[in-house]
Each structure stands twice: as C-alpha cells, then as structure tokens.
Amino acid sequence: MKLATIRNADGTTQAVRVDGATATPVGLPDVGALLRQPNWRELAETATGEALELSSSAYAPVIPQPSKVVCVGLNYRNHILEMGRDLPEYPTLFSKYADTLIGANDDIKRPAETEEFDWECELAIIIGSEVRRATTEQAEAAIAGFATLNDVTARDWQFRTREWLQGKNWEATTPLGPCLVTPDELPGGVRPALAIRTELDGEFVQEDNTGDLLFDPVALVEYVSTMITLRPGDIIASGTPGGVGHAREPARYMVAGQKLVTEVEGLGRCENLVVDDGAA
C-alpha cells in the first residue's frame, strides 16, 4: 500500500491512498495524522471516496510535522571509507527539524550563507506505532513503511564544529516523499534491499543498495527507541551511500538552477529544482 499527503487548492492537505495515477482520500489531514489512528491500516485499505487525479505538484512532505526526525550518519560502508573514517561500533545520530522538510517536487532553497551545498540520498523509515526500548520483534512491528529522503547539507556549516546539526537544519532543504510504501510491497520487507541513487542534472552521482546498510532499519528502531519513545509519524533517516559532493576530488556542490533527483527503488522519486534563498 502507498500513502501520501497531498495539497488541496485551498492550501490545506489530506492523506490519500495512492493507486497508480489516482488517489483516494482517507478522511484525515495528512499521513502523520493517519498513523496516529490505531487502525490506520484498515482506514487506508477500506477508504472508498471519490478518486482524485494526482499531479506532481500536489505532493506535500509525506509526514509534514513529525514529532522528531532522527538522522543516521556514516551508515554505508563505501561512504564511511570515502569520508576517511573507521567503521562505527554504534550508529552516529543527529536530529533534523520539521521545517527542513519539503514535498517530492518542491524547490530546494539553497541558502545564501553556504558555498558547499551537498546531496545525500537516503531511505527514510517511518514509524507507525509507539515504541520504547523495542525488542527486535517490536521494532519490526513499529515500522509503518519507507519513503525517499534527501538530507541536503551545508558542508561548510556542518564542519564548523564537531557537531553536525548546524549543517543539517536549513529551512526547506529536505525532500521527503512522494509516498510512504508499506513493507509488504518491498523485497526484504522491514529490511528492504532496494537500489538507491541520486542524479544531478542527468548524471548519476550516487548508486548503492539499502541492503548494504551497516545498521538496518530494525536495528535503528531498536537503538533509537532505547533513548526516547518513537511515536507514529516519526522518521529515521538511515544514512547516505558514497558519492556525495564533499568527498569528490575536486569537491562538487550544488548551485541554483540544477535539478536534483533522489530515488529509492519501489518508493518513488523526488525531483527538485535548486533555487537561491536570500538572507533574511
């Protein structure tokens, strides 16, 4: 099953079940609100409203207001090596804020304050039930599905200090969508093995497979939920593979006018134009 949050003409949003090129409303304002219903799967599967035609511009972030976005750094072997680091014993974690999130086809706002604007295609794990100190079985059950995300990063700000948060939290920079896809539709289920890639102006700059994650989605839910309660609609961004611009020789960064395409097999594509965002 595929679920999305789409924008209405009046500026509101609604949660829909996506069936091919059409969408069926499920009676709630967004997918996050849907997941907070204990019977969310039944509500979505049995929705029978009038089918809507989908357009690419209609997609809002699939979860517009998660209570938390937990991100994982250095989780693909090839990316760890290209960044010159040792393989970690534990996941490297940082946080993003909901204000960073944009829809699958929205413009990415490149801040005037950075000269090192980089891409990071990721598999996003979306939580469907409340869980704390999860066992493996509980972690598996808590995963509602997956989506495509790009953790666009201001590298010069990221490496100002040893903490990464300031490079990761620029407003309107992080595509999330277009849909949440439930694990039953994916090879590997809650541990999916999916091709993951990034394309910049028609050139593939990242290509890997989510089966190569050091810490898989179930392990990440177990680990993060040890610290804090994960709630329906929360997101874990599982890390990016090799091929980021910062690690290239010479380094390569995005500028206004470029088109960034982020794709995870079976989850859909985010296609975003980079635009300049002037200083406030």
Give domain status of residue 30, yes or no: no
Do 116 and 155 contact (CB within 8 A), yes or no? Answer: yes
* Domain membership flag for residue 110: yes
Residue 246 forms part of a structural domain: yes
The CATH number linked to 261 is 3.90.850.10
Structure confidence at residue 77 (pLDDT): 81
Domain annotation covers residue 36: no
174 CB-side CA count, 13 A: 27
pLDDT top residue among 280 and 45? 45
* Count of structural domains within the chain: 1
Domain of 100 in residue numbering reads as 63-277
At residue 279 the predicted structure's pLDDT band, cuts being 50, 70 and 90, is low
For 182-206, the pLDDT digits (tens) are 999 999 999 999 999 999 999 999 9
CA 176/CA 191 separation, integer angstroms: 19
Q: 230-251: per-residue pLDDT in tens?
A: 999 999 999 999 999 999 999 9
Q: Which amino acid is at 236?
A: I
